[in-house]
Amino acid sequence: MAVTFLFCFLFFRFFYVQVVWSEELGYRALDQWTREIPIIPKRGKITDRNGVVLADNSTAYTVFARSNAIRDKESTAALLAQTLQLDFETVYNRLTKRKASEVTIAKRVEKGKVESLSELLLDGVYYSRDNVRYYPKGDALCQVVGFTSTDNVGTTGIEKYYDAYLSGEKGELLYETDLVGIEIENSVAAYLPAEDGYNVELTIDYGIQELAESALERVYAESSPKSASCIVLDVNTFEVLALANYPSYDLNEVPRNDAELLNTLTRNHLVCDIYEPGSTFKVLTAAIDIEEHLRGNNRAFSPNYIFPSSRTRAVDGTTVKCWSNHANGKHSNQTLAEALNNSCNPCFTDIALAIGSETFYEYLSTFGFGKKTGIDYSGEAYGLLLPQTALRACDLARIGFGQTIAVSGIQLASAVASAINGGYYYTPRLVKRIYADDGYVLQKNEPILKNRTVSEKTSNILTKMLEGVVTVGSGKKAYIEGFRVLGKTGTSQKYLDGKIAAGKYVSSFVGAFPADSPKYLALVTVDEPQGAYYGSVVAAPCAGEIFQGIISLKNIQPSVLE
């Protein structure tokens, strides 16, 4: 019995070693008898939708050494230090004090220096091609493209989000060695090729991006804000055509040694930060009212309804005011269109309270507030929306005109785009396709419809109203002669420690053109402008400049005005 048991044990042990464990043992043997030089894959390019290269590679080399294979370490260290312009002691210590069989002497070495080393025929010194990331457009689109670490790993932006596609797979060059790691004479090297990374094509139109960055730079120079941001969205697909933040930084000169400055300059405000939208939010309150009226909700107001002229309203003991004192008949007896033109707060308070929290919150959810849009970018903010169970009437009243709610720029831009495109809410995106150098397309991102927000009829009514804001209302500085532009201005106060921060505002404008068939939507936000701070004065002209630039860039012909 014992003999049988021992025989079975030996049989199963033999089977385990020869069959089950064979692959792992093979790898161990290969590791003992070979030394490998990594072959770095080429990182994929990042381009705009028209092929403009935004992130590329230049070739460099990494120098390795195997101390066991070096006969004269002092002489080799001296030659390495001299050729690569390194400190002798540092190199010598790496060759003598490291327990690892292979050490890295230097990364990102120029081709000329590697050629000089090759002529020295140093035992135990090897080289492999490396890639150095560089950005041909410098600071353009810097917060979106992002950058890589010194090891070429995506750290921020698209470089980080799509790192798995961009990075590729490393290869190896294997040499047969003896037990101490010295290459065997006349051995044959085995070559395992690297797999280069895929290229990423953005939805960004670099021409429009340049227009946006130039306009923001001008606003920054004139108003000295903390920052200024702009997103240009394709209204019909939610492709991001431009996304700019100013101030910017050169992607080739990343301030890695200053963490605070790095965090400030690399932050994509329109995706990762939130703010009270103020009067730009009235676009959505108006859309909700129009849609509910068309659905037969008798609590909603008809577009022809005349709102009373009172400039204040008491809600839960809180007084809701308009920005104007309504003197000399100003803002008296307005329709919804006129309320949008004048940006009159009490009218939108009336709408929110009449619609009621349950229905109003259903629309807020449909428009994407309080949750991520799903844009392909890390760190997207959820926004801030009070739980409906904790909502007071005064809170609902203020949400109606863009207070007591905080949104990200991409949330607001997407919501407004859906309100004016017939009610179609898509997932916004920054990447159009992922493809290989040989033309093979790994992934093509088509528009993804998430839900419907309002009807086509509501959109048509709303766009006509918003066109009036630009022709005769607060958005007149975004007007372009011969073209139909729609929009809405906004000016919101900022808070510090739960209290209104005196003199601190966010000026904004959201608009689109052509108004009869919206294509290009722009949201401009200016954080804490100095001097004039109204959105109508600071942000609207900036959007108008961008629209004018797009008209010239795309050779768009004037609208046929009705």
- In the chain, the N- to C-terminal Cα span, in Å, equals 103
Question: Is residue 189 over pLDDT 60?
Answer: no
Q: Please compute the mean of the pLDDT values over residues 381-390 and round it to a whole number.
A: 95
Q: What mean pLDDT do residues 538-554 have?
A: 97
Predicted local distance difference test score (pLDDT) of residue 330: 61
pLDDT, tens digit, for every residue of 237-289? Answer: 999 999 999 999 999 999 998 989 999 999 999 999 999 999 999 999 999 99
Tens-place pLDDT, residues 321-374: 776 665 555 666 899 999 999 998 989 999 999 999 999 999 999 999 999 999
Q: For residue 540, how far is the Cα from the chain centroid?
A: 23
Per-residue pLDDT averaged across 217-227, rounded? 97
Q: What does the pLDDT read at residue 562?
A: 53
Q: What values do phi and psi take at 524, rounded to 5?
A: -115, 130
Q: Which residues of 378-414 are buried (b: 16+ CB within 10 A; e: fewer)?
A: eebbebebbeeeebeebbbbbbbbbbbbbbbbbbbbb
Residue-level pLDDT at 37: 64
Q: Give the pLDDT score at 8.
A: 57
Show the domains of the chain with their CATH numbers.
31-201 (3.90.1310.10), 206-553 (3.40.710.10)
The whole-number average pLDDT for the span 62-77 is 83
* The predicted structure's pLDDT at residue 29: 45
**Using 50, 70 and 90 to split pLDDT, how confident is the model at 177?**
low
Residues 1, 114: Cα–Cα separation, whole Å: 68
Contact 463, 420 (CB under 8 A): yes
Give which of 431, 439, 365, 350 is closest to 397, Cα–Cα: 350
For residue 311, the model assigns a pLDDT of: 58
Per-residue pLDDT of 413-448, as tens digits, reads 999 999 999 999 999 999 999 999 999 999 999 999
Which of 67, 279, 459, 508 is catalytic? The answer is: 279
Q: Where would I find the beta strands (DSSP E) of 144-277? A: 171-176, 190-192, 199-202, 227-234, 240-246
pLDDT for residue 436? 97
Closest by CA position to 41, among listed 380, 404, 437, 369? 437
Position 312 pLDDT exceeds 70: no
Residue in 223, 80, 126 with CA at minimum distance from that of residue 541: 223
536 is catalytic: no
What percent of the chain is modeled with pLDDT above 90? Answer: 64
Is the pLDDT score of 40 beyond 90? no
Beta strands, E only, 206-272: 227-234, 240-246
Q: Using pLDDT thresholds of 50, 70 and 90, give the confidence band for residue 98.
A: low
pTM listed for this prediction:
0.86
Residue 173 predicted with pLDDT over 80: no
